[in-house]
Amino acid sequence: MIELPKEFEIRMQDMLGNAYPAFVRSYEKNKMQALRVNTLKGSVEEFLEKAPFLERINIRRVPWERRGIYYDENMPFGKHPFHEAGVYYIQEPSAMTPVSYLEAQPNEKILDLCAAPGGKSTQIASYMKNEGLLVCNEIHPARAKILSENVERMGIRNALVTNETPRRLSEGFGEYFDRILVDAPCSGEGMFRKNEEASREWSLENVKLCANRQDEILDCADWMLRPGGRLVYSTCTFAPEEDEGTVARFLMRHPEYEIIKIDKYEGMSSGSAEWTGGIAAENIEATIRLFPHLIDGEGHYLAVLQKAGEVPNGYQGFLKNGLQKGILANEVKEFLAFQNENLTINLVEAKEERLLRFGEQLYRMPQEMPSIKGLKVLRAGLHLGTLKKSRFEPSHALALALKKADVKHSMELWANQDKNDMSVINAYLNGQTLNHEGEKGWYLMTCAGYSIGWGKLAGQIMKNHYPKGLRK
């Protein structure tokens, strides 16, 4: 049983009344485990067909995210090759709710302002289907690196990953984004069952600090959201000061916003006008609370806000430094030669200016990518690979962004799925060379049809190009 902070218990008892005993009993239960199938790789149905180990568990979908699946905590999903291939993302089920209400669409410009470690960014990307611009920002450098790695693992092509403060980022964008997600840093009360450290570090002082920080972040988000745009605010805390209170204070400062009334799933609770800190906030009951004694998940809060106004077709918004200028694809003939020899698709046409070069490194920019001048950027779209003397070496990111049908040569590493024979795939993940017959050249290595890395065949020996830093 988790030892809850006394001041937290007193406040929760006051908030929940007769429901408080059931709330406390929820901490005696095991935390809920879930994964979200990455539909950039394939459909949920395809995943269920290709995963024989799922036969050992009772498949149950997460109600508010059709890609989400609950699983037993003893299942080693984090160690399976499918995880390395980006086939799914292990994500707490309640954490899937904000993006489901963001309603991201292809060809939009979307910002995830507090994005690490990447669960919600990669969820947004699945809705965007690699079309449009997704800016994923994280203030802390180490966490931004993890975010970038998860963007790569999930095969996302249209993401710009930045490491900036919200204030610095807002200086470059004015009413630019169609949708913004603010999954704000918070006191983490909703994660006490999942992370006991959060319980030990909790304090009323930190709740106040978080609330002040949330006010600042939301003001930055407002500056960057276009008229008529959607802003989803979420936390993983129960603290009224950080939930209804933060939303009410935001509406007081920005009366041009309204809370959107949204459908709730079974077990979801409404926000309360009693918890706004005395500030009137119309439709605050339309915000959503998730309590662990009512749903299969941890504590969460979210509000869907709509900004007044509308924009004409072709609207761009303000960019401090305009759009990023790329280079013509025919300026890097080594890449075009690689594409012609090894791919069945065109990632970029010869006369397109979608490529960005940093020394030897080559990237394919998202559509209408803003200038990265003055920004700390970890990933400027899809990393294609390295330009070496008279040749091109594809990146691991490119492998994970491709499907078997996109390449001329591939090698299946887990052909005997029904037998659960993992020896060949494990050998590859360990960095071993493999025997294979076929035409020499680059091969997309696949696991049950999902791309997982590169190999290069010469003399019937498949040289292993799985990154050394990822090897088992």
Partners of 174 in beta bridges: 318
- Please indicate whether residue 236 is annotated as part of the active site: yes
Residue type, 151: V
What pLDDT was estimated at residue 440? 96
CA-to-CA distance for 210 and 285, rounded, in angstroms?
22
Q: Mean pLDDT of all residues in the chain?
A: 95
Higher pLDDT, 199 or 443: 443
Higher pLDDT, 33 or 224: 224
What pLDDT was estimated at residue 293? 96
pLDDT surpasses 90 at 304: yes
CA-to-CA distance for 4 and 24, rounded, in angstroms?
9
Span 147-175, average pLDDT: 98
What pLDDT was estimated at residue 454? 98
pLDDT surpasses 90 at 154: yes
Q: Which one, of 407, 405, 411, lies nearest residue 394 by Cα?
A: 407
Span 377-385, average pLDDT: 98
Residue 197: pLDDT band (50, 70, 90) is confident
CA-to-CA distance for 195 and 193, rounded, in angstroms?
6
Span 13-33, average pLDDT: 94
Q: Three-class SS of residue 366?
A: coil
Partners of 303 in beta bridges: 233
Partners of 394 in beta bridges: 385
What pLDDT was estimated at residue 321? 95
**Per-residue model confidence as pLDDT tens digits over 92-128:** 999 999 999 999 999 999 999 999 999 999 999 999 9
Q: Tell me 367's DSSP state.
A: T
**Per-residue model confidence as pLDDT tens digits over 40-95:** 999 999 998 887 666 655 678 999 999 999 987 777 788 889 999 999 999 999 99
What pLDDT was estimated at residue 46? 92
Q: Which H or E run contains 102?
A: helix 97-102
Span 19-27, average pLDDT: 96
**Per-residue model confidence as pLDDT tens digits over 233-279:** 999 999 999 999 999 999 999 999 999 999 999 999 999 999 999 99
Residue 123 phi, psi dihedral angles, 5° rounding: -70, -45
For a pLDDT cut of 70, what percent of the chain falls above it? 97
Contact indicator for 85, 400 with CB cutoff of 8 Å: yes
Out of 114, 136, 186, 236, pick the active-site residue: 236
Partners of 180 in beta bridges: 111, 231
Burial of 274 (0-12, 13-18, 19+ CB in 10 A): exposed
DSSP string across 73-89:
TTS-GGGSHHHHTTSEE
Residue 381: pLDDT band (50, 70, 90) is very high
Cis bond before residue 93 (omega within 30° of 0): no
For a pLDDT cut of 90, what percent of the chain falls above it? 87
pLDDT surpasses 90 at 297: yes
pLDDT surpasses 90 at 418: no
Contact indicator for 156, 139 with CB cutoff of 8 Å: no
What pLDDT was estimated at residue 56? 56
What pLDDT was estimated at residue 57? 59
Please say whether the dihedral angle defined by the alpha carbons of residues 82, 86, 88 and 94, taken in this order, is positive or negative. Answer: positive
Q: Which one, of 159, 166, 204, lies nearest residue 182 by Cα?
A: 166
- Residue bearing tokens 């590859």: 428
